[in-house]
Structure 1
Amino acid sequence: MTQYVYRFGGGVSDGGKGDKNLLGGKGANLAEMASIGLPVPPGFTISTEFCEVYYDEGRAFPQALRDEVATGIAHIEGVTGKKFGDAGDPLLVSVRSGARASMPGMMDTVLNLGLNDETVKGLAATSGDDRFAWDSYRRFIQMYADVVLELDHGSFEEALEIAKEDKGYYLDTELTAEDLQALVAEYKALVEAQWNKPFPQDVHDQLWGAVGAVFGSWQSERAKVYRRLNDIPAAWGTAVNVQAMVFGNMGDTSATGVAFTRDPAKGDRAYYGEFLINAQGEDVVAGIRTPQYLTKAARETANAKPASMEEAMPVVFGELAKVFDLLETHYRDMQDIEFTVQQGKLWMLQTRSGKRTAKAALKIAVDMAEEGLITREEAVARVDPQALDQLLHPTLDPNAVRDVLTKGLPASPGAASGMAVFDSDTAEKRAAAGESVILIRVETSPEDIHGMHAAKGILTARGGMTSHAAVVARGMGRPCVSGAGTISIDAKAGVMRVGTGSAGREIREGDTITIDGTTGEVMAGAVPTVQPELSGDFGTLMVWADGVRRLRVRANAETPLDARVAREFGAEGIGLCRTEHMFFDAARITAVRQMILAEDEKGRRIALEKLLPEQRADFIQLFEVMAGLPVTIRLLDPPLHEFLPHEESEFAEVAAAAGVDVDILKRRAAELHEFNPMLGHRGCRLGVTYPEIYEMQARAIFEAAVEVADKSGDAPIPEVMIPLVATRRELELMKVVVDKAAQAVFADKGRTIEYLVGTMIELPRAALMAGEIAEIGEFFSFGTNDLTQTTLGVSRDDAARFLTTYVERGIYAKDPFVSLDVEGVGQLIEIAAERGRAARPGIKLGICGEHGGDPASIAFCESIGLDYVSASPYRVPIARLAAAQAALRVQTHN
C-alpha cells in the first residue's frame, strides 16, 4: 500500500535526508534539519503524491490516509507530551503547504489549529497566560475563516481595528485578555453570519478542513499564475506539513523572524532579516507591525531605534548565528530561514535556498566558489541564465518615484525614458537631432525597423511576447512593452489615451514617458535608470562558463553597433545577418523600390548597381568588427511587397521618389500582393526568379570580405545562407550564383578567401530531405522561428491570442515560439542533423531563431550535438551560461 505520511522530529526522520519530489521543499528540509540535530518541532508530511489523488478522488480523504495521519498525530503527541483536542493540555499544530519548488506566498497556511472554546482554557492554564491563549484563539479563527471557510477577510480586520479604536490602542499587543475574549466572540458571530454554521469546535474536523484547503490552494489562480511565470509543472503538486506549534507570542522572551544567511539583494556575506518580539510568523510578513533588524550593524546602517535581535536577545541570537552557518555549510547555498523563539528557546521552522536578485546570485555563486564551499562548475550551474537579463540592460532606479499609467507584457528587458512619438519617420528624425524617443505603435511591422532602431524603447498596444515588436526589440537590445491593451492610440493626432472618463490620461507627441520592459510598466515622465555593470563577478562567472561549454555562441546582428555589442558580450561570430533590414534603410529604400518596379532584368540590374556599394559598405563594417570570425549572411528573404507602400497617402510620395506614375506603382503593388506571404514568393524563390538579386548580394559580400582581409590581415569567414530551401535543386541553383560571384571577385581582386554556402532549414520538407540538401549545402542553420510556424501551422504574430490558453490547458508545456517544441520541431531538427551528417560528415550545424537565447532550447541543441547557437546580442551572455550548464548536465549524465 502506498505510504503518504512521513514523520520528522523527536529523533525520527521517515524522509531521511529529504526527497523534495516526494516531500516537497519544506517537508524535505524539515526532515533534513531534524536528521542533523537542529531544534525542529515534531510533525509529519503528507506527500506530494497524494495531491493528485486528492483531486482524482473529488477532494476526498480515504480511510487509509486518515489512519496514517492519526499515526502522525500520535507521533507529535508522543514527542510533546500533549494531546490533540485535550481540554487540559492541548496540542496545537500548524498546517502548511510545501511544493517541490519554492512558491513563497502563493499557497495557504493555518496556525494554532486545535483551539476551541474548551482547549483555549487549557492553553491559558498550562501557559499561565490568559492573554496569550485568547490571542492565539482569535488568530486561529481569523486565519481559518479566511483560508478554509473562504469568508470575507476584511470583516475580521475591521472588527480588530474597531476593537483597538474603542480602547484607544495603536498596536494589537495592547489588547488585554478580556479584550481578546470579546473579540473571539465577535469573530465567532461573524463566522456564523457569513457561513451559516457555528465555528467548528471538533479539532479533527478543523484538521481535515485545513489539509483540504492547503491542497486546494495548489489550484488557486495565484498559484497557477506563479507556476506559469516560473515554469513549474502543475503535475508536481504540493505536500502538506502538519507540525507542533511553537509560540513567538508568549511575551517578551518570545519572538519570530525571517532571515537570510546572506544579503539577497546584493549578495554580501552578512546576516539579513527581521524579527518581532511577542509575535507570530504572519506578523513579520503581513506588515501589521514594523519588524526590527536582526543585527546591530543593520540597525545602525538604517538609523533605526528599536533594538536588534543581537542586542535584545544576545544568547538566542548567538545560537541562531551558529545555525545559519551550519545550514549554509550543509546545503552549500544561501538559506532563507524562518524561526521562532518560545520563552527563550530557539526553534527552526523552515529553511530553503533563498530567492535572490541576479546581482546577488552572481556574487553569492562566485564568493562561495572562492570560499571553497562549492566548485566553479557548481557556481556556473547555480545562476539562472534568464536572470542575467536583469544585468544586461539599464534598469530603473528602485528608489525613484513612478507614476504608472498602465501595464503591458514585459516583452524585452531594460528601461528607457523619452518623448512619445507615433511613427517611425518621426522617431528617426528626432533621434538624429539628439532626442531620446519612445516609439508608440498599435503594432509594428518590418517597415518600422528604422524607427525601432532609432528609438530608446518601444510600446505597442497589440502583440504578445513573440510579436514582431518583441522579437526585433530583443534583437536590438531595446526595452519593449507589448500588448498594453488598456491604451488607445491615434497616430494621426499624435495622442495615446489610457483609461476613460475623468480617470483617463492622455500622452501627446513630445510628452515624456518611461517604459520598463522587465516589468511591463508604462509611466508618465522620466524615471532615472541605472546602467549595467558587466565586470567583476559577472566577468568571473562568464570565464568559468566558457571553460566548460562546448557549444559556440554567435549573435544575430545586422548593424556595426549590434555586432560590437555582441562582441563585448562574448559572441564568437554572427549566426544570422538579415540583409533585408539593410534594405529598409531610408537612404536606399528608393533604389530597392526601383528594382522592384523594373519591368525586366536590365532595369533590375540598374537599380541593383545602385545598391551594391551600399551593401558592400554594410558588410565591410560587419566584417571589421568580426574579423577572423564566421559571419552567416542570409540573402534577401521577405516578399518584395513588404518594401512597397501600403497606405493610400504614401503612394504619391513613393511614386515621385521612384520616378514612376502613381498608377504604375499601385498596379505593381497589387501584382505583388500575396494572401499568405509567409508561404509565398520569398526566400530562395526570389533568387530563383530574380537571380540577379542574390548575385549582387554575393558580390557585395566577397568584395567586402577581400577588402577587410587586405586591410586587417585577418579575413572574415563569410557563410552565405540561402533561405527557405525546400529542395536540393533550389540550393544547387543558388550555390552556382554565389560561387560564380565569388570567383569573379577573387579573379578581379587577385586573392581568395575561405567561404561556405549553406541553407536555413525552416521547412519540414527541408528537414526530411536534409540528406540530399547536404550534398550541396556546407552548413545548416535551423531557422526555428519559421520552422515552428510551418511545423505547427501557427502564425507567430497571431498566436498570442490563444497560446496562453494552450499553455494553461497543457496542450503545449510552454509557448513554442519562446521555448522550442522539442517533441515536434525538435524531432525534425534531430532528423535533419542526423541525415545531414550522414551525407556530409563534419557539416556545420547551428540554430539562429529566437530559441538560440532560450536555455531550455540550448540544452536540446547540446543534447543532439549542434555546433553553435545564435542569439540576439543582449542574450549572448545568457546563451553562454546556458550552454555551459547544458554541457555540465551532459557530463553528469555520462
Structure 2
Amino acid sequence: MVKQTVKKAAKKSAAKKTVKYIYSFGAGKAEGNGSMKELLGGKGANLAEMSGTLKLPVPPGFTITTEVCTYYWNNKRTYPKTLQADVETNLKKIERETKKQFGSEKNPLLVSVRSGARASMPGMMETILNIGLTEKTIPGMIAKTGDPRFVYDAYRRLIMMYSDVVMEKAAGIEPKDGEGIRKILDGMMGDLKKKLGVSDDTHIPAEELIKLCAQFKATVKKVLGSAFPDDPMQQLWGAIGAVFASWNGKRAIAYRNIENIPHDWGTAVNVQTMVFGNMGETSATGVAFTRNPGNGDSHFYGEYLINAQGEDVVAGIRTPSPMNRWSANEHSKHLPTLEKTMPKVYKELDKIQQKLEKHFHDMLDIEFTIEDQKLWMLQCRVGKRNGTAAVQMALDMVKEKLITQEQAVLRVTPAQLGELLLPAIDPKAEAQVKPIATGLPAGPGGACGKIVFNSADAIKLHEAGKNAILVREETNPEDIEGMRAASGILTQRGGMTSHAALVARGWGKCCIVGCGELEINLSAKTVKMGGKTFKEGDELTLNGTKGWVYNGALKMLEAGEGNKNLVKFLALCDKVRVLKVRANADTPEDAANARKFGAEGIGLFRIEHMFYGKNSDKPLFILRKMILSASEDERKKAVNELFPFMKAAIKDTIKAMAPYSVTVRLMDPPLHEFVPTLPEKQQELAKALGISMAEFKERAAGLHEVNPMMGHRGIRLGVTYPEITRMQARAIFEAAAELLKNKVKAVPEVMIPLTCDAQEIVNQKALIREEYDAVVAKTKVKNLNFSVGTMIEIPRAAVLAYEVAQEADFFSFGTNDLTQMTFGFSRDDIGAFLPEYLKQGILEADPFQTLDQRGVGMLIEHAVVEGREAKPNLKIGICGEHGGDPESVEFCHREGFTYVSCSAFRVPIARLAAAQAAAKDVLAKKKHK
C-alpha cells in the first residue's frame, strides 16, 4: 500500500517536461534554500541555507530531490534518464571546489551519502560514509594523510556499512534481530579487540586493520555471495539506491505510521564531501543543540568525541565528552570539554549556533566535524525535544522576543503537552529507596514495568495490557516498534545524542541511556545491576528525569501536579485561543478535576451517570422501578422517589463548576441495560413493585429491543413518559434556585438528546417551561436564567438544522453517535473490521478518534450554516470525545464553534489545540499582508 501511495505521487512529477533533479551547495553558494524542504528534504534545504544564505563552512555537495524517489518507486527502481549525467556534472563541481578527484589514485575525493526526508526521521533510513575508498585510492589517501591506520579504519567502516546497507538488502536478506552481516563483522571486530587487549577502535594498529579489511571482504563474499565493490562509481550508485530503497524499509514505515508522516513524501539523497573527525587528536565529531533538549535550559548543549566519525556519537559505542560545563553530567563531568580542549574551534562553533538560532528562530540540532582543527557544519535541523523542554523553550523565547505568542503555542505539540500530564514517581516512595543503577536522563517522567530484552517481547506485553521496560545494550532503528510499545527504555551504552535518546526524546518516552553498570546476558535473558541479577519479567522503575533505576514497582503520581511552566504555558494558550473549552463531567469530583485542568464549564453532564458510581445503589434501585413500571401511577411514584437524588447530584455538580455554565443532558439510558440480571436483585425489585417473578420477567422481556441504540431512549423517553421530563426539569431548576439563594452562581443549560425533528423540541420545551414557572413561583427566585438546546447526533437533525435552530437556544454536536449513524458503524463492534480498513487505506483514520471531516464534517458544516442563518447568535459546541482531539478542535475553530467539550484530562490538550488553530489564522493573515 505504501509503495502504491508513492507511485501516485510520482505521476505529478512525471508529467513535468523539464525537471531539475539535483541542487548543489558549498563554497558559500547554493542552488536551493531553507524553504525548499518538500523538494530537497529537511537536510538538503538546511545545508543549502547554511551554505548559501548564512555562508557557514559546509563541505561541498549536492542533493538529489524527493521527486527522484517517487520516480524510483514508480518505475521499478530505476532513475530518470538524465540523472546519471546530472550526478557526474555535480561531482565535477565538487571536484573543482575541493581540488580533489573522485576515484583518483593520487588525490582521491571521498563522499558520504545520506537520506533527508522533509520531516526528521532519526536513524530510520540509511547513511554510507567513505564512498570512493578502494584498493586503488587507498595509497593516495595514505600519501595525503600520512596515516595508514586512519585510512584502513575508514575502509573497514565502509565495508561494514556498505555490506549491511547496500549488499545485504540488495540480496533480499532480512536478518532477524541480532543477526546479519553487520553483526558478523561487529563480532570479528570485537574478537580482534579482545585478542589485542584494547577497548577502543582507535587503538587497533594499522597492520591489524589491513588484515581485518581483507577478512571482512572475504566474509562478505562468503555470506552474501558477491564481492564488495572496489569501483567508486559502483559504490556511489549502490549507496544512492540504498537510500531511496530505505524510504520503504520496515523501520521507516513503522516510524512514519507512529509519527503520522505521509508515505508519499519520499526522501532526498545528499551526496557530500567527506570530512574526517577521526584523523587523530586534533580531530573530532559531535552533536549539539542550541538549547538543552532534555529540560529546555537556554545554554548551548552537546557532546563530542575526539578521533571519531559521526556514527560513533549517535551509536553510543564510546562515552562522549561534554561540549561545555552546561553539558556535563554524572557520567561525563570528569571528561575534558570541547571548550577547554579546542577553545578556538569551540568559540567559532558557539558563534555559529547563536547565528543559527537567531536565523531559524528555534532550537536547532547541529552535527559537526572538526578535521585537524578546522570546523565543518554537516547538518542543522529543528531539534527534537521532550515536553518539559518544549514548554520551557516556548516561554523563554517569547520572553526573549525571539518568537511571538502565536509562534510559541505552535512550538508545543499536543503529544509533548501530554508528557507533562504523564505519571511520575511519588517523591515520598522514591525517598525511601536507593537507585540500583544510574544512567543519563534521556526521556522524561517515570515508568515501571516488566523487563524485556527485545522488541517483539515488548510488543507482546503491551498488547497484553502490561507495561514493559525494554533493556538493551544499545537501541538501533530496528527496535523502533518495541521502543514505542515499551513504557520505558534502559540501555547500557549511549549518550544524550544516541539513537535511543533522540527517539525517546521525540516521543516523550521515559528513557535512561548510558547505564554502564548493566551486565546484560541476552541468551539467558538476564541483567545484572546493583549486585543483583534480574530476569525477564522482573519489575523495574525508571526515573527518566534523573536517570535513576529502582528495583520493583514504586508508587506513581498523576502528572502535572505543581508544574508552574505548564500553568504559565496554558495561560499563554488562553490568551491566543478563541474557542472556549468545557469538560464532559458527570459528578462533582469530575467537575472539580475539570476546573483544575482549566475547563470553562460543563458541556455534557450525563444525568443518568449518577446511577453508575459509588453510593448509587438506592437511586439505581428506584430507576429500575421506574423503568419496569407498567402504569403511569407506578411510574410517577418511582419518579418522585428519584427526584431528591437527582436534584442533589445536579446541585453538587453545578456548585463545583460555579460560576460557569453546566449543560445537563436529559436522561438517555438504554433501558434494557438497567434491568438487573442477578436473581436476588430481580426478586428484590419484583417485591418492591408488588408483582410476581413471572410478571417481572414479562415486563423485562417487553423492554428488549432489536437495536437499542436506535430504540426507546433520549427524547423519545420524554415524549412517551412526560413525567420523566418534568421531574428532571424540576430537579435542575430547584437545584439552581437553591444555589442562587446561597449566592452561588448557577447557569443551567437543559439539553434534549437524540432530536430528529423540531417538533420534538416544541413538545419538550412546553413541559420544561411549565416546571420552570412552577419553581420560580415556589422559590421566588427572580434571577434564575436557563436555556434549552439540543444535541445534534442524528443526521436528520443536522439536515433540518434551520428548523431545529428556531426552537433551540444552542446546538451541541454529539459526534460519537453522529459518526456512528452517518457511517452505519456500531462503535461497539468496529474491532472486527476497522483495523483492516485502516491497514488497507480505505479510511485514513479511526472516525471515532478523529472527526471525519469529509462526511460527518460536511453534515456539521451544513448544520452550523443553517442554524446560524435561523438564529445568528446560536451557541454551538461539541460534546463527543472528538472535542479533545487536536485535528477535530481545529475543525471546530474553523467552523466558528463557541466551545468544545471533552473529558477532564483532555482539557489541557483542547486548550492548546484551540490556541494553535487561532495562532495559524493570525500568522496566515500576517503572511498574506
Give the counterpart of 1:44 among 49, 52, 62: 62
Given residue 744 of structure 1, which amino acid in structure 2 is its aligned partner?
A
Q: How far, CA to CA, are the matches of 2:20 and 2:579 in structure 1?
A: 44
Q: Give the TM-score, by structure 2 length.
A: 0.81
* Matching residue of 1:692: 723
Structure 1 CA distance for aligned equivalents of residues 387 and 326 of structure 2:
24
Residue 781 of structure 1 pairs with residue 812 of structure 2: yes
Taking structure 1 as the reference length, the TM-score comes to 0.84
Cα deviation for residue 675 of structure 1 reads 3.5
Letter in 1 for 2:771: A
* Structure 2 counterpart of 1:329, one-letter code: K
Aligned to 2:502: none
- Distance of 2:658 and 2:81 partners within structure 1: 73
Structure 1 CA distance for aligned equivalents of residues 719 and 538 of structure 2: 51
Residue in structure 1 matched with residue 881 of structure 2 by the alignment: 850
Kept in 1: contact 2:27–2:57 (CA 8 A): no
* Superposed CA offset, 1:432-456 (max 9, x none): xxxxxxxxxxxxxxxxxxxxxxxxx
Q: In 1, are the aligned partners of 2:655 and 2:744 still within 8 Å (CA)?
A: no
What letter is aligned with 1:717? V
Q: Which has the larger displacement, 827-836 or 883-892?
A: 883-892
Q: Is the 8 Å Cα contact of residues 569 and 876 (structure 1) preserved in structure 2?
A: yes
CA shift in 2, pair 1:303/1:220, >3 Å: closer
Counterpart residue number, 2:862: 831
| TM superposition shift of 1:303 | 6.2
What is the match of residue 12 of structure 1?
Answer: 29
- Residues 1:300 and 1:595: Cα distance change in structure 2 (over 3 Å): closer
Structure 2: runs of 5+ lacking an equivalent: 1-17, 174-179, 427-444, 453-457, 469-534, 545-550
CA distance in 1, matches of 2:911, 2:606: 22
Indicate the SS of the match to 1:84: coil
Q: CA deviation at 1:373?
A: 1.3
Aligned-partner SS, 1:234: coil
Deviation at 1:560, TM superposition (A): 1.2
Aligned to 1:676: 707
Q: Are 2:391 and 1:362 equivalent residues in the alignment?
A: yes
Tell which deviates more after alignment, 190-199 or 804-813.
804-813
Q: What is the distance in 1 between the residues matched to 2:685 and 2:284?
A: 75
Aligned partners of 1:749 and 1:802: how far apart in 2?
55
Residues 650-674 of structure 1 deviation map (CA, whole Å, 9 limit, x = unaligned): 7567767887655544444433233
317, 330, 337: which is aligned to 1:288?
A: 317
Per-residue Cα deviation, 1:531-565 (whole angstroms, up to 9, x for no partner): 42455332332222222221111111111122122
Structure 2 Cα separation of the partners of residues 673 and 562 of structure 1: 32
Q: Look up the match of 1:597.
A: 628
Alpha-carbon spacing, 1:401–1:614, altered in 2? closer, same or farther (3 Å)? closer
Aligned residue identity for 2:720: T
Which of residues 39, 62, 66 in structure 1 aligns to 2:80?
62
The CA distance in 2 between the partners of 1:116 and 1:873, in whole Å, is: 63
Query: 1:565-614 CA deviation, whole Å, 9 max, x = no partner?
Result: 22222211111111121122333211111111211222122122222111
Contact map agreement 1:415 1:529 (CA 8 A) in 2: no
User: What's 2:376 paired with?
Assistant: 347
Residue number in structure 2 paired with 1:582: 610
Would you say the 8 A contact 2:757–2:800 is kept in 1? yes
Is this contact kept in 1: 2:40–2:66, CA < 8 A? yes
Compared CA separation, residues 658 and 86, structure 1 to 2 (3 A): farther
Cα displacement (A) at 1:737: 2.4
Q: For residue 71 of structure 2, what is the aligned residue in structure 1?
A: 53
- Structure 1 contact 45–239 (Cα < 8 Å) conserved: yes
Alignment of 1:213 onto 2:242:
yes
Q: Report the equivalent of 1:312.
A: 341
Task: Please report how far the alpha carbon of residue 700 of structure 1 lies from its aligned counterpart in structure 2 after TM superposition.
Answer: 0.8
The aligned residue for residue 803 of structure 2 is: 772
CA contact (8 A) 1:782 1:847 kept: yes
2:404 to 353, 363, 375: 375
SS of equivalent to 1:88: coil
> Equivalent pairs: percent with the same residue?
50
Structure 1 pair 802–257 and aligned structure 2 pair: CA distance change class (3 A): farther
2:645 partner letter: E
Quick check: 842-851 or 118-127, which moved more? 118-127
Structure 2 counterpart of 1:519: none
Per-residue deviation, 1:341: 0.8
Find the aligned partners of 1:755 and 1:298 in 2 and give their Cα distance.
Answer: 59
1:728 and 2:758 equivalent?
A: yes
| Equivalent of 2:769 in 726, 731, 739 | 739
Q: Would you say the 8 A contact 1:392–1:534 is kept in 2?
A: no
Provide the rounded CA distance (Å) in 2 between the counterparts of 1:146 and 1:98: 19
- Once the two structures are superposed, the pairs formed by residues 130-169 of structure 1 within 5 Å of their partners are 130-149=148-167, 150=169, 152=180, 153-169=182-198
1:81-230 alignment to 2 at 5 Å?
81-149=99-167, 150=169, 152=180, 153-230=182-259
**Does 1:611 find its partner at 2:642?**
yes
Taking the aligned partners of 1:332 and 1:514, their CA distance within structure 2 comes to: 34
Q: Which runs of 5+ in 1 are unaligned?
A: 417-502, 517-522
Measure how far apart 1:302 and its partner are: 4.7
- Asked if the contact 1:758/1:778 (under 8 Å) is kept, the reply is yes
Moved more, 822-831 or 264-273: 264-273
What letter is aligned with 2:582? R
Q: How much does 1:393 deviate?
A: 4.4
User: Which of 272, 275, 287 is the aligned partner of 1:246?
Assistant: 275
Q: In the alignment, which residue of structure 1 is the partner of 2:579?
A: 551
In 2, are the aligned partners of 1:391 and 1:534 still within 8 Å (CA)? no
Shift of 1:137: 0.9
Partner of residue 360, structure 2: 331
User: What is the CA distance between 1:741 and its match in structure 2?
Assistant: 2.0
State whether residues 185 and 216 of structure 2, in contact with CA within 8 Å, keep that contact through their aligned partners in structure 1.
Answer: yes
**Aligned residues of 1:546 and 1:884 also touching (Cα < 8 A):** yes
Point out the more displaced range, 244-253 or 108-117. Answer: 108-117
SS in 1 for 2:291: coil
How far apart, CA to CA, are the structure 2 residues paired with 1:304 and 1:346?
24
Structure 1 residues 530, 769: CA separation in 2 closer, same or farther (over 3 Å shift)? Answer: closer
Maintained 8 Å contact 1:770/1:832: yes
Change in Cα spacing, 1:68 to 1:618, as seen in structure 2 (3 Å) is: same
129-138 or 294-303: bigger deviation: 294-303
> Which residue number in structure 2 is paired with residue 389 of structure 1?
418
Q: Are the structure 2 counterparts of residues 685 and 530 from structure 1 closer, same or farther at C-alpha, using a change threshold of 3 Å?
A: closer
What's the counterpart of residue 877 of structure 1?
A: 908
By how many angstroms is 1:808 displaced? Answer: 4.0
Contact map agreement 1:5 1:69 (CA 8 A) in 2: yes
Residue 686 of structure 1 and its aligned partner are, at CA, apart by 2.1
Give 1:336 shift: 0.8
Which residue is equivalent to 2:98? 80
Other-structure match for 1:536: 564
Change (3 A) 1:579 1:548: same
Q: Distance in 1 between matches of 2:733 and 2:599?
A: 22
* Structure 2 match to 1:520: none
Equivalent residue pairs, number: 796
Residues 79, 505 of structure 1: alpha-carbon distance in 2 compared, 3 angstrom cutoff: closer
Question: What is the distance in 1 between the residues matched to 2:612 and 2:687?
Answer: 18
Equivalent-residue separation in structure 1 for 2:771 and 2:462 (angstroms): 44
